[in-house]
Amino acid sequence: HVLCSSVCDPHTNLLAEQPDYIITCVVCLGFTTKFVILQFLKVQTMETQSRLPRVKKTALTLLKIPLLFLLLYIFICSLDILSSAFQLAGGKTAGEIFQKNIVLSNPVAGVMVGILVTVLVQSSSTSTSITVSFVSSGLMDVQSAIPIIMGANIGTSVTNTIVALMHAGDRDEFERAFAGATVHDCFNWLSVLLLLPLDVATGVLRHMSQAVVNTLRLSSRDKPPELLKVLTKPLTKLVIQLDKSVLTALATEDQVQMNKSLVKHWCKSAVMKVESQLSGLLSCLVKSFTISFFVCKHLFANSSLSDLAIGLILLVCSLLVLCGCLMLLVKLLNSMLKGQVSNVINKIINTDSPPPFTWVTGYLALLAGAGMTFLVQSSSVFTSALTPLVGVGVISLERVYPLTLGSNLGTTGTALLAALASRAEKLAAATQVALCHFFFNLFGILLWYPIPATRLPIRMASALGKCAARYRWFAVLYLVLFFLLFPLVVFVLSMAGWKVLTGIGVPVIILIISVATINFLQSRRPEFLPPKLQNWNFLPVWLTSLQPMDDLITRVTLCCLHTFCCFCCIRSGKRYFSVQFLTIS
């Protein structure tokens, strides 16, 4: 009784410490029953309320992980379907571009063709495969194919730049994402600007690749496994299947295949039968193959629509799915990678190794990017997956730069594997083209990474990110200008001949170099310049700032919105008055 009274005493705090005595207290002291039960329920309720948020948070976190992988899988599949849509919409145009004879003799036109074709088909491997077919068939030599490979390297970076546009809703996110995407563009453009003239003058890439091919004893192998295709093909083949041999036939002017549709309507399967034949004491095994054709099982197998119509349908649908997945991925990453989790990941990914091995971290990131790209066998997918991580602040621009460079090297490993799987008559040409691609990216890394002062792509991408965050329309202008209009204009000038291209291109290049030099001197050594050139105040505002253009675009946008709103209000007002009139009548 003394024990019970001490435990049940409302002035003591032993109830929460010794809940086992509650039932004893209820039996011994009837007048304290109500108090004890209320205290017990209160303690249990508080404990339950404190546990529920933690259990709920843990359960939500565990559910977010498979949801993250599901969204990433759909995101990668939508990229694959987007590539198929571009091939359907512009694949035949891309194949016809390769038929232009100017490509065979003009390296500048070759670079522009590589950019345009890769942007049209959204696949550098497709444009490279067409180039390999040209080289192996004797229609193009390796020296003429190298500029096309360089252009394909630039064109493949358009995908992650498109992905960065989906972050335009948040200014800070958009600045980081656009900078992380365009660092790949800047690296490729700078590498081409330096290595193209060097290769045209010396043929260094061709000589090195030829030496390697002559040294190696090459033999044709089976087709290497494609990890990414193995994962995405079960879903994407239910949506669309393409006959990519038609693109190669268009480029090589194969009249039999040129009129065929890119959409695969008939699929074939080969069944091998092994039969044993006995003749006296000798026996042998006879292998026979039975090839059967059946209608392919995808959405457009029985469709009568043209390739362009199917391509446009898939383009719109894949872009919608891509945008939806990307928005959900960003929100999911923001919810998962905030607070202490974000700090831990930032420390792991963005922290350098302790001195004196600080320089090793970047090279480890470069190797990691090469390895991941080699595993997924797609640089576009890898760099596009990095862009949202840069946008939400998980990976810094300085860290994503070596990852991107490693991705460039990893995709050349994929091309080498594909080349080694070629047929015997195409093996040497395919391997040499793939080695040219490898040496081009390797020399680009040696130019723009080992010395911190030469890492110009980081500074250029950072400036582009700040500009795009301030003027949102600049991102779309950059995308259209550098991946469509500029290559198209240069290609047209190249077709007009060397004199026209030189007469227009040389003054433009001199003007750009002069402006860049003056800008550098204005910021570092203004005393070296005449007083007139120490600033740009003597020029019109629209030549020195994007603000006038931004004001014009803002006014036009507001005017269009105002007109649209007034039209909607007038229409709704007419309906309102007609309803009122009917009511009064």
Helix residue spans in 104-244 (DSSP H):
107-121, 124-137, 142-155, 158-164, 171-202, 204-215, 227-239
CA dihedral 311, 372, 110, 84 (to 10 degrees): -10
Residue 243 lies in a domain: yes
pLDDT at 495: 78
Asked whether residue 318 falls in the same domain as residue 425, the answer is yes
Identify the three-state secondary structure at position 537: coil
pLDDT tens digit string along 399-440?
999 999 998 888 887 677 767 766 666 778 778 888 999 999
- Residue that terminates a domain, selected from 472, 494, 516: 494
Asked whether residue 112 falls in the same domain as residue 165, the answer is yes
**Number of domains forming the structure of the chain:** 3
Q: What are the residues whose beta carbons fall under 8 Å from the beta carbon of 37, sequence distance 6 or more?
A: 26
Asked whether residue 473 falls in the same domain as residue 527, the answer is no
Residue 576 lies in a domain: no
CA distance 331 to 59: 18
Asked whether residue 501 falls in the same domain as residue 540, the answer is no
Sign of CA dihedral 424, 430, 436, 437: negative
CA angle 286, 287, 288 (to 5 degrees): 120
Q: What are the residues whose beta carbons fall under 8 Å from the beta carbon of 101, sequence distance 6 or more?
A: none
CB neighbour class for 38 (10 Å; exposed up to 12, middle 13-18, buried from 19): exposed
pLDDT tens track, the chain, 585 positions: 444 454 445 444 444 444 444 444 444 444 445 555 555 555 555 555 556 677 777 777 778 788 888 887 887 788 778 777 777 776 666 666 665 555 557 888 889 888 988 887 776 766 776 777 677 666 677 888 899 889 988 988 888 888 888 888 889 999 999 999 999 999 999 999 999 999 989 989 989 998 888 887 665 555 555 556 677 788 888 888 887 677 666 655 565 666 677 788 777 655 555 555 545 444 555 555 566 667 788 888 888 888 888 888 888 888 788 778 877 876 777 676 655 555 665 666 777 777 777 788 888 889 988 888 887 767 887 888 888 888 888 888 999 999 999 988 888 876 777 677 666 667 787 788 889 999 999 999 999 999 988 999 999 999 999 999 999 899 999 999 999 899 989 888 887 878 888 888 889 989 988 988 998 888 888 888 888 888 888 888 888 888 888 888 888 888 887 777 666 666 555 544 444 444 444
Residue 407 lies in a domain: yes
Q: What are the residues whose beta carbons fall under 8 Å from the beta carbon of 61, sequence distance 6 or more?
A: 336
Residue 260 lies in a domain: no
- Contact call for residues 484 and 119 (beta carbons, < 8 A): yes
Model pTM above 0.85:
no
Asked whether residue 409 falls in the same domain as residue 501, the answer is no
Residue 328 lies in a domain: yes
Asked whether residue 469 falls in the same domain as residue 504, the answer is no
Asked whether residue 511 falls in the same domain as residue 546, the answer is no
Could you tell me the residue range of the domain that residue 243 belongs to?
A: 21-47+54-253+301-494
Asked whether residue 106 falls in the same domain as residue 131, the answer is yes
CA distance 555 to 563: 12
Asked whether residue 447 falls in the same domain as residue 423, the answer is yes
User: What is the DSSP secondary-structure string of 349-375?
Assistant: HHPPPPTT-TTHHHHHHHHHHHHHHHH
pLDDT at 544: 84
- Residue that terminates a domain, selected from 470, 494, 518: 494
- Contact call for residues 544 and 515 (beta carbons, < 8 A): no
- Contact call for residues 227 and 56 (beta carbons, < 8 A): no
- Contact call for residues 342 and 393 (beta carbons, < 8 A): yes
Residue 515 lies in a domain: yes
Residue 584 lies in a domain: no
Residue 179 lies in a domain: yes
User: What is the DSSP secondary-structure string of 385-411?
Assistant: HHHHHHHTTSS-HHHHHHHHHHHHHHH
Identify the three-state secondary structure at position 207: helix
- Contact call for residues 188 and 198 (beta carbons, < 8 A): no
Asked whether residue 305 falls in the same domain as residue 349, the answer is yes
Asked whether residue 523 falls in the same domain as residue 465, the answer is no
| DSSP state letter for 453 | G
pLDDT tens digit string along 535-546?
888 888 888 888
Asked whether residue 456 falls in the same domain as residue 348, the answer is yes
CB neighbour class for 371 (10 Å; exposed up to 12, middle 13-18, buried from 19): middle
